[in-house]
């Protein structure tokens, strides 16, 4: 195998040099154009290329998680009474998914310092979301106790 391999409908299409990495990074590109080659799977075995791709993916997912977290944290509690915290639950679920992705899927391809840095960022996000959940629970319990009086 080569440094990278591109497959078109499960047939090897391009292959360069010998693969030296035991676990090549495999992904399906998101290209939906009619006038380009249709590629179903790409395998990359060059660690520098993998590291770059993985860091970009992590950056995009972290940016999505931060924006969702900011929406949840800045949303007015009185604005949407029907919501009952589903946005908060979704943000916490995305944080758990991001943690699993870092811990299991990308761990082989990241430097320890970078992984630790991303885990710290994630921990701060989760901490803020948990604080928000606690505030919402205390506010809702206060509301229910005041209604009973």
Domain coordinates of the chain in residue numbers?
4-44, 47-147
Predicted local confidence at residue 106, as pLDDT:
87
Would you say how long the chain is, in residues?
149
Predicted local confidence at residue 22, as pLDDT:
63
Question: With contact defined as beta carbons under 8 Å apart, do 65 and 95 qualify?
Answer: yes
Predicted local confidence at residue 33, as pLDDT:
66
Predicted local confidence at residue 16, as pLDDT:
45
Look at the pTM and tell me if it is higher than 0.85: no
Per-residue pLDDT in tens (0 to 9) along the chain, 149 residues = 455 566 666 554 444 444 455 677 777 777 666 666 677 777 787 788 888 989 999 999 999 999 999 998 888 655 555 556 788 889 999 999 999 999 888 888 888 899 999 999 999 999 999 998 888 888 877 777 776 55
Predicted local confidence at residue 50, as pLDDT:
85
Q: Quick one: which H or E segment has residue 137?
A: helix 112-147
Predicted local confidence at residue 13, as pLDDT:
46
First to last CA, the chain: 74
């Amino acid at each position: 195998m080569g440094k990278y391999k591109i497959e078109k409908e499960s047939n090897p299409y391009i292959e360069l040099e010998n693969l030296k990495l035991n676990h090549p990074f495999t992904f399906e590109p998101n290209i939906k154009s009619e006038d380009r080659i249709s590629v179903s799977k790409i395998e990359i075995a060059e660690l520098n290329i993998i590291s770059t791709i993985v860091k970009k993916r992590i950056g995009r997912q972290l940016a999505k998680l931060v924006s969702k977290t900011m929406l949840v944290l800045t949303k007015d509690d009185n604005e949407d009474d029907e919501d009952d915290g589903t946005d908060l639950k979704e943000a916490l679920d995305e944080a758990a998914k991001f943690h699993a992705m870092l811990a299991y899927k990308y761990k082989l391809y990241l430097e320890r310092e970078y992984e630790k840095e991303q885990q710290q960022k994630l921990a701060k996000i989760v901490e803020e979301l948990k604080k928000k959940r606690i505030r919402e629970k205390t506010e809702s319990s206060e509301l229910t106790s005041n209604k009973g009086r």
